[in-house]
Chains A and B, each alone.
Chain A
Amino acid sequence: MKKERKKYTLYEIGQGYTFMLPAIFVLAVFIIAPILYAIFLSFHKVELLGGPSYDFRGLDNFVKLMEDDRAKIALWNTIKYVVIVVPAQTLLALVLAATLNAGLKGEKFFRIVYFLPTLTSSAVLTLIFMWMYNQNGLINKLLGMIGLPGYNWLGDPNVALPAIMIMNIWSTAPFFMTIYLAALQDIPDSVYEAAKIDGANFWQKFWYVTVPQLKPVTSFVVIMGLIGTFQLFDQSYIFSKGTGGPNNSTLTVVLLIYQYAFKNLGTMGYAAAMALVLAIVILIATLLQRKFSKEETLH
């Protein structure tokens, strides 16, 4: 093998890189350079308007971040959102996939129906939900019909975030459902047969065969869910018209980053620092998730 490696000539290396060049170029320009630039920005006070000026401030932005009450509220909202939405959408995706895989009539029809929310643009979806959440809207009417009190979904700080959670669970679960569905069809029938011979009932088969077999997929779904939910932006942006209101209740970390970067004039560096911290938080959450799921597989 080592001998072969030495054989690469300049010609081959050049050829290889030439083939990769468009991809490398695109990656460098649109991903790597912006990341480096964001890191650079986060240590500076940046004034982009009126001729860019960069004023090195060291860790100043990060120190201020620790004392920023709105950043704390945003992080807390985001964590609440992640902790509720990720398990809920994962569970719902699994249940939907299992029902679709059970060999019922009209399976294909339901597969399409379930998947429709994912195909809809999230902006359109949010606008539709905002109509439904209106004080005189569909959801309050339905609640009224079964004798429950309605809510001011858009205006009450206590229910605005749950309103977004419900909407998002409903719209993202189907995407993960398709991933589960593919994985479910990969589980060999022989495993189920063996379980049947051992006398396992439906729930035992689901819990002791299906769920462990799906573990790698679950891990993927949870990580993708974590990353996606930590980056919640568009729904709360549209919901609150960009303010994160009512009373900061729909303010998420990414929305706050956006506000600092584009609404205020001289806080681009601070926004970059916040983005960097968010990236680290997501990294830690992902690593924790991986650690836990690995520990379980050892058992």
Chain B
Amino acid sequence: MPTGGVVMKKWFQSFLAVTLFSASLLSGCSQEESSKTADGRTEIVLSGWGGNPTETKLLQQTIRDFEKKNPDIKVKHDVIADQYMDVLKTRLIGGTAADVFYLDAFEAPGLMEAGVLEPLDKYVKEDFDMEDFEKPLLQAFQHNGKTYGFPKDYSTLALFYNKEMLEEAGVEVPKTWNELQEAAKKLTKDGVYGFGVMPELARLYFLAESKGGQVMTNNKASFASKEVSEGLQSILDMRLNDKSAAQPNEVGADSGIEMFGQGKAAMVLEGNWAIPYLADTFPDISYGTAEVPTIGKKNTMAFTVAYVMNKESKHKEAAWRLIEYLTGKEGMKTWTSKGYALPTRKSVAKELGFADDPLRGALVAGASYATVWQDGPYLPIAQTNFNNQFLSAFLGQQPLREALKKAQKQANKEILINE
């Protein structure tokens, strides 16, 4: 028979053992990042979404060049395969986000306001040459006079047209939006639509604002105005009256460019990403690109992504050196050399000569007048509601103005929850 004291002791010991065991199980989940590698180099993590194999190779090449020039730094490239922003936000909250990561201009205002990004102005040296960046693209990552990121590349939208179909129908490449509507009518036949549309705000934003309307005003949705619906009306006319436009899933495609590649649409508005995609997936298609047909004046969308620094980074100096290299003249030249992405630096663009490229020329030309896909921290909310309601108007289930009013009301309610 053990005495009381011994029993208590044993009980305590087993209690301790079990607790420690459970705790050690749990701590196995949390990772303690070692900041130095075995050979004493500083390790920094770079997060981004995945690209196609060629893009990945180009990025790895750029990183290797950087490591050669900075032997004291090792870059760990981490790919977030899906739901990039959700994963990134979760990691930022949990304090496990990378030192340097990609950020889309569209999502940038939210993160810049939340104060999780490191302002980069104090690191910038004279020879980095900030003036060299296309101004609207750099401005997308500036907030209250501070710069939080440097755009790594961009794309605008251009008109992609199927040369054979246009020739067959005897249609010239449209220069104005009215010409586009007429061309779409003539090109629509035998299950082919003249114009393939993605009924999404990201693609239609410049059209929505083309008649003087505003999608967002003072961080509130304001797209239910007469001007915005006038701007968008032509898309509905094509879909519902002329029957000359369709969205990809109406012909069993997943994206506008797949629809174009399959020969189900004669014209689409797409970006630089479409060029390598078509070369890989639909190499036989004969197509050309042109600047987006004008509505009064020239306009298009620009999408851009920057490298930004985590405010919680433990190696800010090293992280800056990486950003400096990747968005610098040399790194950007390697990264954009194959034309998978367009350079945001004027000097690099000039050197690589994409302005004279028969396919990319139209995309590059758009950069000077494009509207950057960004409009304050609540554009993502406005976008979700716009897309939902616009789709039903696009399908003819409700009048456009009514759809936009509903979307605006709901978007503003959601914005209010955020405030």
Residues of B whose CB lies within 8 Å of any CB of A are 7-8, 11, 14-15, 18-19, 21-22, 26, 83, 85-86, 89-90, 92-93, 110-111, 114-116, 247, 249-252, 377, 380-381, 384-385, 387-389, 391-392, 395, 397, 406, 409-410, 413-414, 416-419
Contacts and interface: CB of A to CB of B under 8 A. Distances in A.
B11 A11 contact: yes
A70 B406 CA distance: 11
A134 B250 CA distance: 9
A21 B19 CA distance: 8
Interface in A233-268: 242-248, 259-260, 262-267
Nearest to A251: B388
State the main secondary structure of chain A at its contact with B: loop
A233 B361 CA distance: 44
B376 to A, nearest CB: 12
B252 A18 contact: no
Contacts of A220: none
Contacts, number: 113
A245 B391 contact: yes
Nearest to B7: A11
Nearest to A11: B7
A256 B377 CA distance: 19
Contact of B387 (A64, A135, A152, A243): A243
A243 B389 CA distance: 12
B11 A18 contact: yes
Contact of B92 (A49, A69, A154, A156): A49
B193 to A, nearest CB: 13
Contacts of A61: 417
Interface in A40-85: 47-52, 61, 64, 67-70
Contact of A18 (B18, B86, B388): B18
B413 A157 contact: no
Interface stretch (A22-30, A97-105, A205-213, A223-231): A22-30
A14 interface: yes
23 contacts: A21-B18, A25-B22, A26-B22, A61-B417, A64-B413, A64-B417, A70-B385, A135-B251, A157-B391, A157-B392, A245-B387, A245-B391, A247-B389, A247-B397, A259-B384, A262-B86, A262-B90, A263-B384, A264-B380, A264-B414, A264-B418, A267-B414, A267-B417
B381 A264 contact: yes
Contacts of B251: 135-136
A18 B16 CA distance: 10
Contacts of B409: 69
Interface in A1-40: 10-11, 14-15, 18, 21-22, 25-26, 29
B186 to A, nearest CB: 24
Contacts of B381: 264
Contacts of B93: 48-49, 52
B390 to A, nearest CB: 9
A155 interface: yes
Given A18-B18, A246-B391, 5 more contacts: A26-B22, A52-B93, A70-B385, A157-B392, A266-B417
A67 B413 contact: yes
B14 A18 contact: yes
B247 A155 contact: yes
A137 interface: yes
Given A135-B252, A265-B110, A265-B377, A14 B15 contact: yes
A287 B18 CA distance: 39
Interface of A: 10-11, 14-15, 18, 21-22, 25-26, 29, 47-52, 61, 64, 67-70, 134-137, 152, 154-157, 242-248, 259-260, 262-267, 270
B26 A157 contact: no
A49 B19 contact: no
Contacts of A21: 15, 18-19, 22
A15 B409 CA distance: 60
A136 B252 contact: yes
Contacts of A262: 86, 89-90
A265 B89 contact: yes
A27 to B, nearest CB: 12
A263 B387 CA distance: 15
Contacts of B14: 18
B236 to A, nearest CB: 15
B96 to A, nearest CB: 13
B388 A22 contact: no
Given A11-B7, A18-B15, A262-B90, A50 B116 contact: yes
Nearest to B90: A262
Contacts of A265: 89, 110, 114, 377, 418
Contacts of B110: 265
Nearest to B410: A69
Contact of B18 (A22, A50, A245, A246): A22
A157 B250 contact: no
A50 B115 contact: yes
Contacts of A134: 252
B86 A263 contact: yes
Nearest to B389: A247
Nearest to A68: B413
Q: Which 3 A-B pairs have the closest CB atoms?
A: A135-B252, A155-B249, A136-B252
A64 B416 contact: yes
A245 B249 contact: no
A129 to B, nearest CB: 14
Given A49-B114, A247-B389, A69 B252 contact: no
A242 to B, nearest CB: 7
A266 B418 contact: yes
A61 B250 CA distance: 39
Contacts of B86: 262-263
Contacts of A155: 247, 249-250
